[in-house]
Amino acid sequence: MGLVEDRVAVITGAASGIGRETATTFAEHGASVVVADVDAEGGEETVSRIADGGGEATFVETDVSDPDDVQGAIETAVEEFGGIDVLYNNAAIEGPVDRLHEYDDEAFERVVDVNLKGVWYGLKYGIEAMLADGGGSIVSASSIAGEVAVPNYSGYGAAKAAVGQLTRYAAIEYAEDGIRANAVAPGIVRTEMIERTIEENPEMEAQFEETEPMPGLAEPEEVANAVLFLGSELSSRVTGVTLPVEGGYLAQ
């Protein structure tokens, strides 16, 4: 018996990295999954990996900075799978790695549009659908950069900090409606996002390896398992928290 048997999960940014790993993990644990991403090729690849493993999934091309797209992804869950039980607001972009005074204005706006407003739309339309469907669990992607200041990530970090605060608002406003809202705050995870950053800033590779007290980098499945915990009944009394998945970084 899977931990999310017969549940329906919508996962944004599921064409790559942590989102793809979470989508396959949820499917392995019995959920039907809506894979929502701007990247159609990667999204379809996630769907076929799930199908190959005997699971059920569908892809919806979604730009999370567009409220209609987010609403569309959630409607797909209701129309194709009969409801929505779990939403993982995972899609994000890393933005530039620059000191604050050199951080490009347009890039800042795009980071806020995707990483913060994307989560806001997910919460808004996800909660609306869950209120009509007897409750559910929402998990959003924060970061260690949303908990403490990580140099040269001001736009990204500010958006992630706001994700933690939106999570707390959603948790208390809907606690009586059977809707839980939590976030995960990964440290450095071996994904395309980190690979791109290393490609553009090769000096950061050694720095990333040394960031967390636990040796090396996290693997996407280590974050996916934390999302599975928060999305399932295993965490039935947990709401409003940002769960660090960062090898002890924030304990220092």
Ligand X SMILES: NC(=O)c1ccc[n+]([C@@H]2O[C@H](COP(=O)([O-])OP(=O)(O)OC[C@H]3O[C@@H](n4cnc5c(N)ncnc54)[C@H](O)[C@@H]3O)[C@@H](O)[C@H]2O)c1
Catalytic amino acids?
Answer: 156
The verdict on 60 binding ligand X (CB under 6 A) reads: no
Tokens 């959603």 sit at which residue?
A: 170
The verdict on 155 binding ligand X (CB under 6 A) reads: no
**Stretch 11-40 residues interacting with ligand X (CB under 6 A):** 12-13, 15-19, 37-39
Applying CB under 6 A, among 87, 93, 116, 243 the residue interacting with ligand X is 93
Size of the site for ligand X (CB under 6 A): 29
Cα 200 from Cα 11, distance rounded (Å): 28
The verdict on 159 binding ligand X (CB under 6 A) reads: no
The verdict on 166 binding ligand X (CB under 6 A) reads: no
Would you say 191 and 199 are in contact if contact means Cβ atoms under 8 Å apart?
A: no
Residue 127, helix vs strand vs coil: helix
Cα 228 from Cα 122, distance rounded (Å): 18
What's at 244, amino acid-wise?
P
Cα 41 from Cα 109, distance rounded (Å): 26
The verdict on 244 binding ligand X (CB under 6 A) reads: no
Detail the DSSP E strand segments found in 38-176. Answer: 56-61, 86-89, 136-141
CB of 127 to ligand X, least distance (A): 19
The mark string for 180-219 relative to ligand X (x by CB under 6 A, - otherwise) is ------x-xx-xxxx-------------------------
Cα 231 from Cα 63, distance rounded (Å): 23
The verdict on 62 binding ligand X (CB under 6 A) reads: yes
Q: Provide the binding-site residues for ligand X, judged by CB under 6 A.
A: 12-13, 15-19, 37-39, 42, 62-65, 90-93, 114, 141, 143, 186, 188-189, 191-194
